[in-house]
Amino acid sequence: MPQCTFLVYRDPKNLLGRILLAASDLGLCGVWFEGHRHLPAAAQLAFSGSPFSASPVSAQLFSDHPFLLQAQEELDRYFSKPAKPFTFDVPLDLNQGTVFQQKVWLALLNIPAGQTVSYQSLAQRIGQPKAVRAIGAAVGRNPISIVVPCHRVLGADGSLTGYAGGLERKKILLAGEGFRLATP
* pLDDT confidence tier of residue 55, bands split at 50, 70 and 90: very low
Segment 111-126, tens digit of pLDDT: 998 899 999 999 999 9
Mean pLDDT of the chain: 85
The pLDDT of residue 60 is 47
The angle at the Cα of 147, spanning 139 to 169, to the nearest 5 degrees, equals 70
Any idea what DSSP says for residue 53? G
Query: Is residue 29 annotated as part of the catalytic site, yes or no?
Result: no
Please answer whether residues 25 and 178 qualify as being in contact, where contact means their C-beta atoms are separated by less than 8 angstroms.
no
Segment 141-173, tens digit of pLDDT: 999 999 999 999 999 998 898 899 999 999 999
The pLDDT of residue 64 is 80
Task: With 0.85 as the threshold, say if the pTM is over it.
Answer: yes
* Catalytic hit among 150, 154, 172, 173: 150
Q: Give the CATH class of 99-176.
A: mainly alpha
What is the phi/psi pair of residue 144, to 5°? Answer: -125, 65
Contacts of 182 (CB under 8 A, 6+ apart): 158, 159
Segment 16-40, tens digit of pLDDT: 988 889 999 999 999 999 889 888 8
Domain with CATH 1.10.10.10 in the chain: 99-176
